[in-house]
Structures are given as structure tokens and as C-alpha cells.
């Protein structure tokens, strides 16, 4: 919470001549899915943003090469919330109807995980068939720090409303990993896909 408040304070001390934007997006990331709402500021071709995110619980069968992929599972309301930080560099190309950009995205999550898999529970020696039973178990909570870089584009719908899409790849670091999770490491490669909408509070210049 202190980190989040620090970044909110940073927005207040940045030059007041910068443009503000209200932003919201749906994101599919390595540890699951989330939606967020936040604020962004433009400083020339640069844009920085901060958003509060809400996680959606999802569970996939264990992948032993990516133990935490799509496995973060909040067990209470507090664990559903985290925050995002964004940086965009925009290429304002006048001849194009879209504004391409490159980005860096950071996401913070502190939540339990729910690992799902199948265990053999009986064997028929006559038919040589093994029957499996599905299981699910909670671990954690675990802290995930997701760092992504990638490319995207923005399309203006009106003078104030715009949409953007972006895709990227990066590294996810884990802390406070439950030692009961066999094969779990401290990091994994990940990817992000995001689609969002924004509203410019003034129209002096474009912003992502």
C-alpha cells in the first residue's frame, strides 16, 4: 500500500501541464486474468500510468515447466486487488490513422495459488487401465512481480475516447513461494495481451 501511495504522490508533483487520461483495460497475463482502472499522464511522446487491478480466479492443469501459469487464485477480497505501472513511448506518425508505441508494464500481485492435476487412484490389471482422480490444492500466498516489454497501437474513436491493444513478453519473479509446491522456482517467462479504452481529460495532444 505504501508503494501505491508513493506513486500516486509522484503524479501530483509532476508538471501540471501534462495531459491526464482515465484508462481501463482487460489483461491476460502469465499468472491469470485481470481488469484495471487507472490514470495516465502524457509528457510529450512519453506516457506514464498507474492503475488498480482486480484479478479473476482461474485454474489450469499443472504444467511442470511453468508451475504458476494461470494458477493464481484469490481466497479473499484483498487478494483480488493489485496494481499496474505502465510506461509508453509513442510514435506520433501523422500519415497513419493509428499511433504505434512500445511499452514497459509492471504488475504486482499477492495471492494464493490453486494447483490442479490428476492422480492415479486405481488400476485394473485385466484391462490394463489406470483411472485418475482430479484434485485441487491451495498454496501461498505468493507475491508475483511481472515485468513485460512489447509493442502496441492506439486508435482514436473521438477527440477524447480511444482504444489500444498491446502484446508483450517478459519475466515473472516470485517471492514467499510455498515450499510444499514441488518443482517451483523463483521465476518464469511470461507474456501479456491487453485491450483497453481511455478517455482524455483534455484534447491538446494525443496520449496512449
pLDDT at 208: 42
pLDDT at 205: 47
What percent of the chain stands above pLDDT 70? Answer: 75
- Provide the residue ranges of all domains of the chain, joining segments of one domain with +: 19-200
End-to-end CA distance of the chain: 26
* pTM for this predicted structure: 0.78
CATH class name, domain 19-200 = mainly beta
- Rounded to an integer, what distance in angstroms lies between the CA atom of residue 27 and that of residue 145? 15
Residue 207, SS3?
A: coil
pLDDT at 185: 75
- Do residues 101 and 90 touch, judged by C-beta distance below 8 A? yes
4 vs 139 pLDDT, higher one: 139
Phi, psi at 58, each rounded to 5°: -155, 145
169 vs 118 pLDDT, higher one: 169
70 vs 179 pLDDT, higher one: 70
Please write the tens of the pLDDT for every residue from 100-146: 999 999 999 999 988 766 666 666 677 777 666 666 678 889 999 99
pLDDT at 15: 43
Amino acid at each position: 500500500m505504501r508503494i501505491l501511495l508513493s506513486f500516486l504522490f509522484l503524479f501530483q508533483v509532476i508538471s501540471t501541464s501534462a495531459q491526464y487520461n482515465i484508462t481501463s483495460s482487460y489483461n491476460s497475463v502469465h499468472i491469470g486474468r485481470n481488469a484495471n482502472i487507472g490514470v495516465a499522464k502524457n509528457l510529450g511522446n512519453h506516457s506514464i500510468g498507474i492503475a488498480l487491478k482486480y484479478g479473476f480466479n482461474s485454474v489450469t492443469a499443472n504444467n511442470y515447466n511453468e508451475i504458476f501459469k494461470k494458477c493464481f487464485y484469490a481466497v479473499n477480497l484483498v487478494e483480488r486487488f493489485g496494481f499496474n505501472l505502465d510506461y509508453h513511448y509513442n510514435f506520433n506518425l501523422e500519415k497513419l490513422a493509428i499511433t504505434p508505441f512500445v511499452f514497459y508494464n509492471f504488475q504486482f500481485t499477492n495471492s494464493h495459488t490453486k494447483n490442479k492435476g490428476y492422480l492415479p487412484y486405481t488400476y485394473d490389471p485385466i484391462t490394463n487401465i489406470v483411472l485418475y482422480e482430479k484434485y485441487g490444492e491451495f498454496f501461498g500466498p505468493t507475491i508475483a512481480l511481472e515485468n513485460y516489454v512489447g509493442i502496441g497501437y492506439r486508435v482514436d474513436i473521438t477527440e477524447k475516447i480511444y482504444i489500444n491493444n498491446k502484446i508483450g513478453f517478459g519475466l515473472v519473479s516470485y517471492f514467499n513461494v510455498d515450499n510444499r509446491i514441488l518443482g517451483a522456482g523463483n521465476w518464469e517467462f511470461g507474456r501479456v495481451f491487453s485491450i483497453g479504452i481511455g478517455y482524455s481529460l483534455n484534447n491538446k495532444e494525443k496520449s496512449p
